[in-house]
Amino acid sequence: MAGDSGGNAIPMEIQVLAQRSVAQAKHVCASLLAAAEQALHQADSRMTAARTGAKEAGDLARRFAERNIAASFAFAEKLARAKDAQEVLDLHADYAGNQIAALGEQAKELSRKAAKLAGEVAH
């Protein structure tokens, strides 16, 4: 046998094959670790974008709620000063129309924000 220095010696071909196998295994492990690191980085980037977007959407919803509450109190103050039933009906019609329009705009803006956030998180 080649490189045989005794009865229990491992043939040189087997040693070379074993060394190549170890080298290949190290290379595969390094590649897997690099891929895992890249995946973690991408996940972190997406999570950061999601956190930022969720905060922005929450802030937007809070501002809308504050506006709606202020409009409701303004309406209540006007109702308290109403002189007759017709004025109450007029105030209510005006308030309802304004709120429907405001809520429609708020829903559109929140939808745009959600779509933007979904696009940012997906990429």
Provide Rg for the chain, Cα atoms.
35
Model pLDDT, residue 107: 94
Residue 52: which region, alpha, beta or left (left: phi > 0; alpha: psi -120 to 50)?
alpha
* CA distances in angstroms from 70 to 76, 112, 119, listed in the order given: 10, 24, 33
Widest pairwise Cα distance in the chain = 116
User: Are the C-beta atoms of residues 53 and 113 closer than 8 Å to each other?
Assistant: yes
Tokens of 70: 């202020």
Q: 78 CB contacts (<8 Å, ≥6 apart)?
A: 91, 95
Model pLDDT, residue 37: 95
Model pLDDT, residue 6: 58
Model pLDDT, residue 5: 53
The residue ranges of the chain whose pLDDT is under 50 are 1-4
User: Are the C-beta atoms of residues 101 and 30 closer than 8 Å to each other?
Assistant: no
